[in-house]
Amino acid sequence: MPGPQPDPQGLRPFNIQHGSAGRDTMCAWERFLTEDPQGTDPVRNVVVSSWLRSRELGINPRGRSAPLAARGDAMDHLRDRHADLLGAAADVFAMSAPLLGGSRSLMLLTNPDGIVLDAIGDNQTLDAGQSIHLMQGGDWREDTVGTNGIGTALATRRPAQVHASEHFCEGIKAWTCAAAPIFELGTGQVLGILDISGPTTTYQRNNLSLAVSIARQIEMVLNERASRERMRLLEVCLERLSARDVAGLVAIDRDGRLVHNSGRLSNLVPLGHRLPGLDRHAAVEDWALALPAPLSADWFDVIRVDGRAIGAVLVIPEQPSPRSAPVDLAEAGFGAIIGRSPALAQALTRVRQLRGKRVPILIEGETGTGKELFARALHGEVRDSHPFVVFNCGAVVKDLLASELFGYIRGAFTGATAAGAIGRFEQAHGGTLCLDEIGEMPLDLQSILLRVLEDGIIYRLGSGQPHVVDVRLVAMTNRNLLEEVAAGRFRRDLYHRLSVTRIQPPPLRDRTGDVDLLIAHFNRLLAARHGVSERMFEQQAMRLLRDYDWPGNVRELRNLVESLLLMSETASVTEEELVRLLEPAAIHSDGLGAAQHGSASLEDAERVAIIQATGQCHGNLAEAARALRISRSTLYRKMDRYGLSHR
């Protein structure tokens, strides 16, 4: 199975050529160090690009070896953190070990930071590799040792073969290496590097193909194991669905990714994404204390197979405790929708017109605009005896979607509980069923949904017994359903059945004046929830927030305020602090107060980049300078120019 190619320019690997004896490359390297403009003529651009990065990073070209990043207990801890990667590579390493004997070659596995986790191969070459730290604990990133197979593969996210004089540091030019990234399938995240190295006499062009092939084998092992574990988590969810006091279930895999989400918590990350705050290298048990709001540690249950934690399931009770309920999302009626802008007032007028009408309603809006709050306002107050059921069509694998909606009887499918279970339509009988991400529904289920809307009858999976349901359907989507219809992914007749009545919550950038009200509301609400003091927003900070485009809308603003309350102990929120947290593309240059010159937009962009780099590097200016590809002295000078603190 081919690995992911997240870089559109990364379809072909680097295959750095070597000269007949490397003399031309060596001469070009010497001229490059003297900054001779013609010095790199014989060398391919990919090598020159890496040499340029190495020089900008301040790498000593006369360096003799890579630094040693870990040894002893630190090395054992590092291997424990990457036990899954090492386990996936164990079989191929065991099979390769005998083949490498006498070959004068090594096979190495690194973590995502380029630190060697394991090394096997010819004993003589293993000994020789220790002289340059081509061994467990060696740090082979470009920004520590310059151009080399492992570091260049990491820097470019592409396979790289570096031979002899093509290395940047003089001390490793006696080696040749071929390295391939190991990707996490589905996300494209680099999990590590598989490298084949040896003395220059062991150079073979097909070493790169071999490294890529082994990297793909490791990816498949990781993916197959993850798939098995996710299926087991889903089976646990099915086993617990029949409990009468269960309002929803959330399943998280061993890497902290959301596998299943059913029930009222529709505001979590998308399916397959990693939940914030969950360290994939930490013990699953420790996640209970790091769960993002509105998840509660009281619901948390670690799932183990053969003694190994494969993830966790959170069982959401029918009546959540007051301290764990997300007050600002669970409030019903119009009081939960904060704002006075004309755009919001127009949308709420539409809600009042349709409230109580027993017709399907389509709510269309960008992510984070509060579509569920509008649906709750349509339904009525929480004290209303009629049920309000929310279900996210994109939060369940397609094979389970029909059983979630329509229920099932005993034996309907493998894993079905002995008692069977009712679906969301029956749960919402007499009230409102809110289907979020309706555009994710498969076409075959769309036809069934259309029939249910027409006849008011559902059939549980495995049963021919009809069940009459009286449900007012509210469908929600952040997609353009007409475009989905044109693309053949959504039925035209269902679209027209749903869109007879439509509501469009306005995006936050169109809600003039509401940003101030929402900030005050979330500042007060979340400070009380977390037991911290409210923070004051400085004038320039407020101007930046009013001019910001808010791609994540109200949800993004709420999360921003919560982060500001929890991640800083200062009383005031500054413009500089905000720039580190906001998306650069959504910041208007005229919303930044520092620009004083005609080239304001360029200076603003540079200022924003510096603030973000120093923030991401936690104030380490050496790391920030490397991230920005400038020298530390240049970074100090620019920070002084923009009035940014060095501390």
184 and 297 both lie in a single domain: no
DSSP assignment of 151-178 equals: HHHHHHTS-EEEEGGGSSSGGGTTEEEE
564 and 596 both lie in a single domain: yes
479 and 517 both lie in a single domain: no
Q: Residues 345-367: what's their mean pLDDT? A: 88
Nearest 5°: phi and psi at 69? -85, -25
191 and 267 both lie in a single domain: no
- Taking the C-alpha atoms of residue 336 and residue 474, their distance in angstroms, rounded to an integer, is 18
Mean residue pLDDT of the chain comes to: 81
**Residue 644: how many other CB atoms lie within 10 Å:** 17
18 pLDDT above the threshold of 60: no
Domain contains 18: no
Domain contains 4: no
600 pLDDT above the threshold of 60: no
197 and 179 both lie in a single domain: yes
166 and 295 both lie in a single domain: no
| Higher pLDDT among residues 451 and 597, named by residue | 451
Domain contains 233: no
Which residue range is the domain that position 61 belongs to? 23-224
Question: Alpha helix (H) ranges present in 101-169?
Answer: 123-130, 142-145, 149-156
452 and 341 both lie in a single domain: yes
Query: Residue 507 carries which DSSP code?
Result: P
Q: Which of 196, 224, 252 is the last residue of a domain?
A: 224
Domain contains 323: no
Q: Residues 326-331: what's their mean pLDDT? A: 38
Instruction: Label residue 504 by pLDDT band (50, 70, 90).
Output: very high
Instruction: Label residue 152 by pLDDT band (50, 70, 90).
Output: very high
- Taking the C-alpha atoms of residue 209 and residue 161, their distance in angstroms, rounded to an integer, is 10
Q: Residues 101-109: what's their mean pLDDT? A: 92
Q: Residues 297-313: what's their mean pLDDT? A: 79
- Taking the C-alpha atoms of residue 217 and residue 223, their distance in angstroms, rounded to an integer, is 10
For residue 111, the one-letter residue type is: N
- Taking the C-alpha atoms of residue 43 and residue 547, their distance in angstroms, rounded to an integer, is 48
pLDDT 10s digits, 215-263: 999 999 998 888 888 888 877 777 666 544 567 788 888 888 888 887 6
198 and 344 both lie in a single domain: no
- Taking the C-alpha atoms of residue 283 and residue 576, their distance in angstroms, rounded to an integer, is 35
Q: What is the CATH number of the domain that holds 564?
A: 1.10.8.60
Give me 109's structure tokens: 């596995």
Kind of pairing, strands 361-364 and 472-477?
Answer: parallel
24 pLDDT above the threshold of 70: yes
308 and 409 both lie in a single domain: no
Cβ(182)–Cβ(173) under 8 Å? no
359 and 499 both lie in a single domain: yes
Q: Which of 291, 316, 341 is the last residue of a domain?
A: 316
- Distances in Å between the alpha carbon of 291 and those of 22, 255, 372? 55, 14, 22
Q: Coil, helix or strand for 261?
A: strand
- Distances in Å between the alpha carbon of 526 and those of 23, 211, 327, 565, 606? 66, 51, 10, 8, 33
Domain contains 442: yes
Identify the top-confidence range among 331-345, 502-516, 562-576: 502-516
Q: Residues 15-21: what's their mean pLDDT? A: 45
6 pLDDT above the threshold of 60: no
Domain contains 212: yes
- Taking the C-alpha atoms of residue 482 and residue 499, their distance in angstroms, rounded to an integer, is 10
Domain contains 14: no
As for how many domains the chain has, the answer is 4
What's residue 495's pLDDT? Answer: 93
Closest C-alpha to 377, from 358, 350, 395: 350
Query: Residue 115 carries which DSSP code?
Result: B
Query: Residue 11 carries which DSSP code?
Result: S
Q: Residues 135-160: what's their mean pLDDT? A: 94
Cα Rg of the chain, angstroms: 29
Q: Residues 353-363: what's their mean pLDDT? A: 87
143 and 178 both lie in a single domain: yes
% of the chain exceeding 70 in pLDDT = 84
What's residue 246's pLDDT? Answer: 66
Residue with tokens 């006091």: 245
342 and 301 both lie in a single domain: no
Q: Which of 463, 485, 503 is the last residue of a domain?
A: 503
pLDDT 10s digits, 510-544: 998 899 989 988 888 888 888 888 999 998 889 88
Work out whether the CA dihedral 322, 325, 328, 330 comes out positive or negative.
negative
